[in-house]
Structure 1
Amino acid sequence: MKYTYRTKGTCSTQIDLELEGNVVRNVHYTGGCDGNLKSVAKLVEGMKAEDVIEKLEGITCGWKGTSCGDQLARALRQALSEEKK
């Protein structure tokens, strides 16, 4: 399933990703810190969505209440929820 998530509270504005069952594929951020977000995308490639959520959920960036990693966790949680419908 292809999924697009509009981020909130981060420099990145959107996350596009695919889920094959519960396996994360093809994560792409729009905006944000290019090198860091390419690294995050590469690190989570092939991981179970639940494992990514566990590792990234709640991470903050500076004074912000969220981060691009936390937004990926939220996107995955939402995508998994929609897939169950």
Structure 2
Amino acid sequence: MEETFKTRGVCATTIQFTRDGDKIRNIRFTGGCNGNLKAIAKLCEGMSAEDIAAKLLGNTCGGKPTSCADQLARAVLGKEAISNV
């Protein structure tokens, strides 16, 4: 099932991915640091939501309380996005 997650507080504006059973596939970011986000998407391809969250949840970027990686973890867990406000 294709899902779209609206991010907050990061350069990427949306994250799209597909749930295939308990696996997350076809991760795509709109905006943000293209090369880094492509790498994150490749590394997380086929992982479970729980495994992605275990690795990425709470990751920050600069002085922000979140990051694109943290937003991906929130997206696959079905949590609300957080912002830097």
The two structures have a TM-score, normalised by structure 2, of 0.90
1:43-62 superposed matches below 5 A: 43-62=43-62
Question: In 2, distance between residues paired with 1:39 and 1:7?
Answer: 18
Aligned to 1:19: 19
Identity %: 54
Deviation of residue 22 (structure 1)?
A: 1.4
Paired residue total: 79
Question: In 2, distance between residues paired with 1:58 and 1:40?
Answer: 15
Deviation of residue 73 (structure 1)?
A: 0.4
Question: In 1, distance between residues paired with 2:46 and 2:36?
Answer: 18
Larger RCO, structures 1/2 (Cα 8 Å, 6+ apart): 2
- Displaced runs of 4 or more, over 2 A: none
* Superposition CA RMSD, Å: 1.0
- Judging by fraction of residues, say which structure has more helix: 1
1:37 lines up with 2:37 in the alignment? yes
TM-superposition CA deviations, 1:16-71 (whole Å, max 9, x none) = 00011110100000000000000000000011111001100000000001000000
Uncovered stretches (5+) of structure 2, i.e. residues with no partner:
80-85
